[in-house]
Chains A and B, each alone.
Chain A
């Protein structure tokens, strides 16, 4: 994030403060984003089912990763319980729909609110503890919630899980990937805009201030306790929405899906994508989701038939190796690399 300021292209003048306070750094990047959105809108008509299911997966993981990035990347706290919050969203949305009959279309945002409330409660330790200690405290929230899902039959269906209804939007059953894709895309765009707006307004700045220098943040009138806990709430809201989308996509929610492993992979997404970058969260989700697919394809090409049995191992190992190599060579994440590339193209053939 720090370090590179790529210049605006020629002719992109700013004559008011309003035009200087946009989400996108230049007009071209706005056009590119809109173009990308149209491509995505057209994807269900052209792409195959498998690729579509990967995109949906990237979608709901991205939403949760954006949330975790607000907590870890922007506020500088840590959470090992994000997978459990993700699960809470999924289970709560299914439960609310089954118990009250509220249409799933509305239980998804409601799951966001409910998960925010749960996040606020489990974020209370953050008022007093930081760093590794907080990591362990949030680890506790992971185990408490997981245990709760396993035992609370009325809520989650216990070990047998419970059904999550298909989303019905104005009489249209979103029963195929093609249709469901648009719902995920809608929530992804909403999440991206919300997160980008958050960090350019008062409370978002306060979160970053708490991360960078909490002592002077306090002098500036920022209530540290409030913002540390609030950050858990906001982050959990995104996790809840992501989780609800996950639950209704699978049509079935069960406690096994929301383990510590999931929490760790969310952390991996934001670290690889770039801490403190909204776009980085999405890039990280893409990377983590597609990496196993990529190694699968590579293993098919590279490995000889004779060791086909060992293919699975090679695949798993290369996923691990890729992550390690990535952290060594690009510790600041994909978002940082992307900025470098952009600056390079603008400045070519000069280096500064």
Chain B
């Protein structure tokens, strides 16, 4: 039991089906507090579906996800922000017409208390006071991710790399226990990737956030992850230390796109169970 107290997020036998498509099949894993956990796999392997199950966009067909030992079942997407799950998206999902500052302030939504009534009377009722306190916190995040120079620009006008960084800032502003990053480095050049890797490590070490990351750049994954899970066709084919996983036969085959008897056997087993 001593070990269990260290577990932040627990996925138990997660399966997700869309009609006949098995997006995820019986995936189980634990994520420990304070680790960087990477999910890798070829396109269409179910990585993003996995994150969507955690963040609540999809409801697993079967299986359960526990955060701090408490089931997430029944919590809507917006409730999960309050439970301490933050995330970024694969395709940029910033609020394009809002300034960078406001984008990050939206990240703090669930931690603010003022509402439309005392918001309208800004000066009386405490809205101003709260906004200023929160602004200070947001400025700390802006400093942390070094986006001071764009804080008043509309998010939609920024370059790709900066937008990714603002999205990370917005997720950090949620002050999550666990932060889900969906391809934080996709489409970046080497320098930007290095910066992003540095930010992720800093988040993990300085702010103590547990990080779940989907990433295609193997170099980065091996360098910064504590543990790696490999998915292929919705199945977990490996889970362990990065070096171990890279030596795994099945992983190599999955990435080279070779026929893998192991996968076929699993699929046949499944077919038997179904029939």
Contact = CB atoms under 8 A, between A and B. Distances in A.
Contacts of B68: none
B114 A202 contact: yes
A323 interface: no
Contacts of A222: 78, 106, 109
A187 B60 CA distance: 51
Nearest to B167: A216
B119 A212 contact: no
A349 interface: no
Given A197-B121, A216-B89, A220-B81, A203 B116 contact: yes
A212 B200 CA distance: 27
- Interface extent on B, as a size class? 35 or more
Contacts, number: 124
A205 interface: yes
B115 A202 contact: yes
Given A2-B157, A209-B98, A219-B55, A197 B127 contact: yes
Interface stretch (B14-22, B128-136, B188-196, B264-272): B128-136
Contacts of B89: 215-216
> For B80, B131, B139, which residue has the most chain A Cβ atoms within 10 angstroms?
B131
A3 interface: yes
A317 to B, nearest CB: 35
B154 A21 contact: no
A230 interface: yes
B152 interface: yes
Contacts of B116: 198, 201, 203-204, 230, 234
Interface in B58-115: 76-82, 86-87, 89, 93-98, 102, 105-107, 109-110, 112-115
Interface in A191-207: 193-195, 197-198, 200-206
A194 B135 CA distance: 21
Contacts of B109: 202, 205-206, 209, 220-222
A278 B179 CA distance: 36
B187 to A, nearest CB: 18
Contacts of B76: 223
Contacts of A3: 154, 157
Contacts of A18: 128, 132
> For A5, A211, A213, A219, which residue has the most chain B Cβ atoms within 10 angstroms?
A219
A223 B78 contact: yes
Interface string B151-178: 0111011000000000000100010000
A273 interface: no
Interface in A153-212: 193-195, 197-198, 200-206, 208-209, 211-212
A2 B102 contact: no
B199 interface: no
Interface residues of A, number: 37
B131 A21 contact: yes
Contacts of B112: 202
Given A206-B106, A230-B116, A213 B94 contact: yes
A216 B122 CA distance: 26
Contact of A212 (B87, B97, B122, B153): B97
B120 interface: yes
B131 A220 contact: no
B77 A213 contact: no
Contacts of A216: 89, 93-95
A193 B122 CA distance: 9
Contact of B106 (A1, A193, A205, A215): A205
Contact of A215 (B93, B102, B128, B132): B93
B81 A197 contact: no
B109 to A, nearest CB: 5
A243 interface: no
A219 B77 contact: yes
A17 interface: yes
A218 B97 contact: no
Contacts of B105: 202, 205
B96 A212 contact: yes
A276 interface: yes
A12 B118 CA distance: 29
B127 A201 contact: yes
Given A197-B127, A208-B102, 19 more contacts: A2-B97, A3-B157, A197-B122, A198-B120, A200-B122, A201-B131, A202-B112, A204-B119, A208-B97, A212-B98, A215-B57, A216-B89, A216-B95, A218-B78, A219-B81, A220-B81, A220-B106, A220-B170, A222-B106
7 smallest beta-carbon distances between A and B, as pairs: A221-B81, A221-B110, A201-B119, A212-B95, A216-B93, A197-B122, A194-B120
14 contacts: A17-B136, A197-B120, A201-B119, A201-B131, A202-B113, A208-B98, A209-B95, A215-B57, A215-B89, A217-B95, A219-B55, A222-B109, A223-B76, A224-B78
